[in-house]
Structure 1
Amino acid sequence: MSLETLFENLSLSPLTDSGEVKNLPLISQNNSLHILESSIQTSNQIINSKISLTSENQIMAQFKPEYLSCVPQFDGNPNELNRFLSTCDSIITAFYDATNPNNFHNVYLLNSLIGKLTGSAKVVVNIQSVTTWNELKDTLYRNFADQRDEACLNRDLVLLKQFPNEKPQQVFDRCLQILNLICSYVDIHEEQVEAKILKRDLYNKLTLKTFLSGLTEPMGKTIRCMRPTDMNQALQFIIQEENIQYYQNFTNL
């Protein structure tokens, strides 16, 4: 129904002193239509505003400050960057209002995450004066992520070998450090979730092969014959063999 028809049905034309209906001038009718349209727009804005406030209040009601306890501190160590960003991102995804980045709830969240920074990471972020989550994430990645690309990290992984007088556990730690950097690179640069999962699985298997082939003899051959299926199992086999060797050396004294 048009607004003109609505006015006619509501009998908005005034009455004369004799009781006869007097038609409104066209200008007066247009003014009345304009007032009605403005009232409708104002009502819609109020309704939308209430809906927005209700949605924001619901988000704030669901958030609990203790959730921030799961966010680790970050001092600028590249090996810890991926864990810090992924933990922060899970909180941001759940509670950050991207449509209104300057509201108090977002400011509180961002400052709480910045409060987890220490050392050089804290200094850099303070200098940059970040105001949004994307700015914080980009600043940390730009300044503290390992600068090697995926190909370089892959090369460094496959060439990893045990040094003379280096313990197997130290080789294990070096393998995991490079694996962590590769996974961080994949998580940041790979957009498709399936591709991330496939690459993570691929590099985990490659890390195990590198670790087993990089161990010096006789430990390397012994562990390879035990056929571990992942890095954790390989480390457990190494610990068992070292305990056996320690016991054998002790009984031979």
Structure 2
Amino acid sequence: KILSISELVNLSSKLKISKSNKMATSREPNLLPPVDYQLLRLYIDSIPKYDGNPFGLNTFINSCDNLVNQFFHADRDALNTFIYQAILGKLVGKAQMLVGSRIEIRSWLQVKEILRLNFGDQRDIKCLEHDLLNLRISKNENHHSFGLRCQELRSLLVSKLIHANKTLQEKEFYSKHYEQMALDTFTRALNPMLQFMIRAQ
């Protein structure tokens, strides 16, 4: 059968559309950005193990957030599953038992939320400031142990600043302020001669 001009035009258009669709389909996987697996491994290796200690919670969460923000992709299910399993592999002790026993948890956001609810310090900044200001050395406690307690409270205050509604300049100011508060609290527990020597430096 000899095709008319209009039939040839229609057939040609259909063939072009079909070819275009095939080319688009064949190119689709290439639209995804390449994965730097060496960098991915470095990100994973930089995440510390987490055992449920409140003082290490923010460091762990920030490290995992950096990993997810850098490599998570909605069209890469296998990679996303690998990232999630890598995060779970960093949990040990109480944190591992808590998350491992919750079968409904299936994402990093859910893991992060349950860790904060169970291991995060629930005191607000004002309460922590008050506790640091009024911290006293216990009977028979050595100065090294007391100094660690001062540092722990300071670390908690600084970690609260990360999520506080403050500018970067304000966060830097308060971070230095809490450092000085911890030093003043620790210094008060020393004998007068040591206090004088520290303040003189």
- Specify the TM-score bucket, using the shorter chain as the normaliser: 0.7 to 0.9
The answer for the alignment partner of 1:63 in structure 2 is 40
Please say if 1:139 is aligned against 2:124: no
Report 1:206-225 matches (<5 A): 206-212=181-187, 214-219=188-193, 221-225=195-199
Any conservation in 2 of the 1:76–1:121 contact (CA below 8 Å)?
A: yes
The answer for the alignment partner of 1:230 in structure 2 is none
The answer for the alignment partner of 2:26 in structure 1 is 46
Any conservation in 2 of the 1:71–1:87 contact (CA below 8 Å)?
A: yes
The answer for the alignment partner of 2:89 in structure 1 is 115
Distance in 2, matches of 1:180 and 1:87, equals 17
Which of 40, 61, 81 lines up with 2:57 in the alignment? 81
Structure 1 pair 136–217 and aligned structure 2 pair: CA distance change class (3 A): same
Any conservation in 2 of the 1:60–1:105 contact (CA below 8 Å)?
A: no
The CA deviation string for residues 28-47 of structure 1, in whole angstroms up to 9 with x for no partner, is: 85675465345434433432
Percent identity of equivalent pairs: 24
Structure of greater Rg: 1
Taking only aligned residues, the RMSD between alpha carbons, in angstroms, comes to 3.1
Q: What displacement does 1:156 show?
A: 0.8
Structure 1 pair 140–98 and aligned structure 2 pair: CA distance change class (3 A): farther
Q: What displacement does 1:200 show?
A: 2.2
Q: What displacement does 1:82 show?
A: 1.9
Please say if 1:72 is aligned against 2:48: yes
Structure 1 pair 135–158 and aligned structure 2 pair: CA distance change class (3 A): same
- Structure 1 unaligned spans of 5+: 1-13, 17-21, 228-253
Structure 1 pair 113–73 and aligned structure 2 pair: CA distance change class (3 A): same
Structure 1 pair 144–36 and aligned structure 2 pair: CA distance change class (3 A): same
The CA deviation string for residues 77-98 of structure 1, in whole angstroms up to 9 with x for no partner, is: 111212222333333344x223
The answer for the alignment partner of 1:7 in structure 2 is none
Please say if 1:23 is aligned against 2:5: yes
Structure 1 pair 24–70 and aligned structure 2 pair: CA distance change class (3 A): closer
Which of 103, 106, 131 lines up with 2:77 in the alignment? 103
Equivalent position amino acid for 2:195 in 1: K
What TM-score, normalized to structure 2?
A: 0.79
Distance in 2, matches of 1:93 and 1:201, equals 29
The answer for the alignment partner of 2:176 in structure 1 is 201
Distance in 1, matches of 2:26 and 2:179, equals 54
Distance in 1, matches of 2:134 and 2:38, equals 52
Structure 1 pair 81–36 and aligned structure 2 pair: CA distance change class (3 A): same
- Three-state SS of the structure 1 residue aligned to 2:6 is coil
The CA deviation string for residues 183-235 of structure 1, in whole angstroms up to 9 with x for no partner, is: 222224457555443432332233223322x32433553344433xxxxxxxx
